[in-house]
Amino acid sequence: MGALARHTGVSERSLRYYEQQGLLTAERSPGGHRRYPERAVHRVIRIQELFAAGMCSSKIEQVLPCLRDEDGGPSGRATPLLMSDLTEHRARLDRLIAELETSREVLDQVIEAATGAE
């Protein structure tokens, strides 16, 4: 577990959470230690990207089987409901990005006014 945490920059606590949520699986050594396959690094990175995109763990659990891993393994098919949810989520992200761009423009104007630049 420590090696996977170091390779991905994710805490061991987060890795345990991912396992509890069904997002990540590990084999156990005879001593009970977790052993992750090499592809787990890519999977953890994908999980982190999806969390960063604002998805909750239950939605990520639905999405992960639909993604191709680094090895190009087979992907599942997204249901029409999942596709609708993902499309709505993307629209929300687009709105947030637009709002952040507007905020940045306002901040740029404040900085320019505060420094006396013209």
Question: What's the rounded Cα separation, in Å, for the pair 10 and 44?
Answer: 8
Predicted local confidence at residue 71, as pLDDT: 56
Task: Give the separation between CA 98 and CA 76, rounded to whole angstroms.
Answer: 32
pTM of the model: 0.77
Is the confidence at residue 117, as pLDDT, over 80?
A: no
Instruction: Specify the pLDDT at position 1.
Output: 86
60: which 2 tokens? 């990520």
In DSSP notation, 104-117 reads HHHHHHHHHHHHT-
pLDDT interval class at 118 (50, 70, 90)? low
CB contact at 8 A, 57 and 24: no
The Cα 76–Cα 85 span in angstroms is: 16
